[in-house]
Amino acid sequence: MIKPPKAPVLSVEALDVVYTTRAGPVKAVRDVSFEISPGKVLGLVGESGCGKSTLAFAVMNYVADNAAIPAGRILFCGRDIVQMRSRDLNHIRGNEIAMVYQDPMAALNPSMRIGPQLTEVLVQHEGSSDIEAREACIRMLERVHMPDPGAMMERYPHQLSGGQQQRVLIAMALLTNPALLIMDEPTTGLDVTVEAEILDLISELKHEFDTTILFISHSLGVISKIADRVAVMYAGELVEQASVQGIFLHPRHPYTVGLLACIPKISAGTQRRTLRPIKGRVPSLRELPSGCVFEARCDRAHDRCRLDKPDIERSGDGHLVRCFYADSPDPAEQQAVQAAPADAELSAIGDDPVLNVEGLKAYYKAKDRGFAGMAGKYRKGFVKAVDNVSLMAGKKSTLGIVGESGCGKTTLAKCIAGLVPPNAGTMDFIGIDVAKEVEQRPVDMLKELQMIFQNPDATLNPRRSVGEAIARPLQLFGTVPKPEIRNEVLRLLDAVRLGEEYYDRLPRQLSGGEKQRVAIARAFAGRPSLVLCDEPLSALDVSVQAAVMNLLREFQQEYGTAMLFISHDFGAVYQLCSSVSVMYLGQICETGPTDALFEPPYHPYTEALLSAVPIPDPTVERTNIRLSGTVPSALDPPTGCRFHTRCPRKVGPICETETPPCRGEKEGHQIYCHIDIEELRSMRPVFSAAQ
C-alpha cells in the first residue's frame, strides 16, 4: 500500500523579490518555486549574488527596506506568509520558523550576555518565566554539546570560539522546536574540522527533533553531505532541482554540469582532471537577458535559448530542469576525455630545489594593557606563529601548505616573502640567504620572489590602472627593454584572459576574479623563480576559482616557476600541488607527495582533516574522525607534540613531554608523530575503496 505523501511544510510558488534602486528595479529572485516535505533537508546552492540569501530571508517575509515581494506565494503549513501582517509574522518568526546565520559572531549582540539572548525567545513565545527559560536554555545548550553550559550563559559572544557561537545560534533556533529551520551558510566561516562537527550536530538534531530544514550554501561539498534534495540557483532563478543523488550523479542543466566540472574532487584513486571554468560573467541583475538567463555562458546554447525563456520540465523521479537542451550531450566533456591528465607535468620537489627553509621561527610580541603598557613596554609573551618549520620548494613544482585558521601559514608566507622578520632559522633561496626582511635582501633577487595575496579588493592600488600595475615590475626589474614594456603588458593581459580594453581600467571597475587575474599577471611579470600564493582563491566564486587555478598552472608551465600554495581548501591543494605540508599551531606535522597524503600512513591530524573535508560526491564513504576541544592559543602552546590536546590517537604521556620524531624518509613522505611508522601504515584509510 502506498502511503499518501504528507503535506509539505514549506511550499513556495512563483516567488518574485524585487529591489527598487536609483538605477532601476533589480529582480533579485524570479519565479522561484519549490517544496520541502516534512523532516527533509532541501539544499539551496548557488554562487555569490545568485539571490539565495535574499530568498532565504524572504521565506520569513523579511526583505530590505527598498525591496518587495510583488508576486508569488509562500505557504507555510498552509498559510501564506506573503499576506501576513506584522503581528502574525512576529508570532511565527523565532517560533515556528527559526534561522541560523552565516557569521555567528555578528549575529549575536556583542553587548549582551548569551543567557538573555537565549531566554528571551522563550519568554517572548512561550510566556516562560526567567527561571524556567534559563533552565530550558541550559538543557538545550547541553544538547548541542556545549561544554559547561551554565557558565556559557554568563559569557559575552566574543569570549566564545566560532564553533561555540554557532552552537549557541543553533540552540537559539531550536528552543521552540520550530517546524522549519532556515540555515544560511551556517558553516561557511568555520574551520574544516569545526564545520564537520557542526554538520554532524545538525544531522543529529534533525533526527532528534524531526525538523524540516532549508539549508543554503555555496559549497557543493557541504550540500552533498547534508541535503536530501538540492535546488541550484543562478542569477535569481532556480535552474535545476533533484534529489541529492540526481544532482550529483546525473546533472542535467548546463550550469550544474559546469559547476561540478570546475570543482576539484578529492578521494584516493580518482584521477586529477583539468578543471573547466565556466566562461563569461554572471549577468547584471539590472539587465537581464530576455531568453535563458544562462545562455551567454552555455556550451549547448542555440539561437532559441536567446529568444525564448525555457519553462520548467519535470522528469519522472522529481527531477526539474529549466532548459531546452537538458539532455543533449555535453560537448566539452567529450573533449576532456581526450585531454591528457594535467598532472603529468608536475615534477617532484627534490629535482631542482629553489627554496630551502630550515628551522624557521617567527614570533609576534603580545601587547600588555597594564601599567607598563602605558610606556609602550610589552609583557614577555610571544605568539609563536611559526615555530621550527622546514620545507623545500623546487622548480616547476608546487608545494601546498594546508592548515586551519591560526596555524601560522599566512605568517609563514609573509616570513618567506620578507614582509615579516624571522626570529631564527635559515632560508636559502637560489643560493642567497634570505632569512631577513625584504628591505635587507639584495635588490637583484627581488624579482625572483613574488607573491599573490588573498583579498582581491586590497591587492591593487585603487589609484593605479591595470596597465600601470603590471608595467611597474617590468620597469623595475628590466625584464624587457623599455620600448617593449607595453607590448609585454598586453601579452600578460592576454595570458590571463583579459582583453586590451582592461589596460586603462581602474580596479574599482573590475570584479574580484578579474582583480586577482591582474594580480597574477603582476606577480609573474618579472618571471620569478618562486611565487608565494597566500589563499588566492578564498574570496572568489567557485567558477572563478577554477579559472584562476588553471592560470597558475599555465604560468608555472611557461616559466618553470616554483610555487608555494597556501590554503585551507584541500580540494584546491589536491588540484594544484605536487607535494603538501600539513601545518598545525605553527609546526609542520606531515609532508609528502600529494597522492601519498590521501592514503595511510597519515598523521592523526591529517586523518581528521581528510575525514572532515566536504566532498561534492554523496557516494563517497569516509571514516568519521572528529577532534575534541578547540585549538590552543599560540601564546602558550602545548608542550611536546602540539596536537596532543586534541589527538584521537594519543599514545600516552610521551606525547605531552617529547617532541615527536620524524617517521619516514627525509626526502619523501615525513610524518612527525610518536606512533611508529608500521602502525601508521596500518591505519584504516579515510576513503573507502575507490569507486
Residues forming contacts to another protein in the complex (CB under 8 A) are 60, 62, 65, 89-95, 98-99, 101, 103, 106-112, 120-121, 124-125, 156, 158-159, 169, 172, 369-371, 373-374, 376, 414, 417-419, 438-439, 443, 446, 449-451, 453-455, 458-463, 472-473, 476-477, 508, 519, 522
Measured from the CB of residue 93, what is the shortest distance to another protein in angstroms?
Answer: 4
Q: How far apart are CA 449 and CA 110, in angstroms?
A: 42
231 residue type, one letter? A
Measured from the CB of residue 245, what is the shortest distance to another protein in angstroms?
Answer: 33
Q: In terms of CB distance, is 168 or 235 closer to another protein? A: 168
Cell 611579470 belongs to 525
| Among 162, 212, 185, 157, residue whose Cα is nearest residue 36 | 212
Q: In terms of CB distance, is 113 or 650 closer to another protein? A: 113
- CA torsion through residues 474, 478, 480, 481, sign: positive
Q: In terms of CB distance, is 103 or 428 closer to another protein? A: 103
Measured from the CB of residue 120, what is the shortest distance to another protein in angstroms?
Answer: 7
Measured from the CB of residue 511, what is the shortest distance to another protein in angstroms?
Answer: 16
Q: Is 52 helix (H, G, I), strand (E, B) or coil?
A: helix
Q: In terms of CB distance, is 114 or 673 closer to another protein? A: 114
Non-local (6+) Cβ contacts of 688 within 8 A are 620, 621, 622
CB 507 within 8 A of CB 462: yes
Q: In terms of CB distance, is 158 or 666 closer to another protein? A: 158
Could you tell me the CA-to-CA distances from 511 to 219, 286, 680 in Å, in that order?
20, 16, 46
Measured from the CB of residue 373, what is the shortest distance to another protein in angstroms?
Answer: 6
Measured from the CB of residue 225, what is the shortest distance to another protein in angstroms?
Answer: 26
Non-local (6+) Cβ contacts of 261 within 8 A are 275, 276, 332, 333, 336
Non-local (6+) Cβ contacts of 645 within 8 A are 629, 632, 638
Measured from the CB of residue 326, what is the shortest distance to another protein in angstroms?
Answer: 37
Helices (H), 598-644: 604-612
Measured from the CB of residue 11, what is the shortest distance to another protein in angstroms?
Answer: 21
Measured from the CB of residue 535, what is the shortest distance to another protein in angstroms?
Answer: 11
Q: In terms of CB distance, is 98 or 620 closer to another protein? A: 98
Measured from the CB of residue 527, what is the shortest distance to another protein in angstroms?
Answer: 14
Q: In terms of CB distance, is 257 or 393 closer to another protein? A: 393
| Among 317, 143, 179, residue whose Cα is nearest residue 241 | 317
Q: How far apart are CA 313 and CA 637, in angstroms?
A: 58
Q: In terms of CB distance, is 69 or 278 closer to another protein? A: 69
Q: How far apart are CA 174 and CA 183, in angstroms?
A: 12
Q: How far apart are CA 347 and CA 492, in angstroms?
A: 25
Q: In terms of CB distance, is 218 or 472 closer to another protein? A: 472
Q: In terms of CB distance, is 311 or 457 closer to another protein? A: 457
Q: Enumerate the β-bridge partners of residue 15.
A: 32
Task: Tell me which H or E stretch contains 409.
Answer: helix 409-417
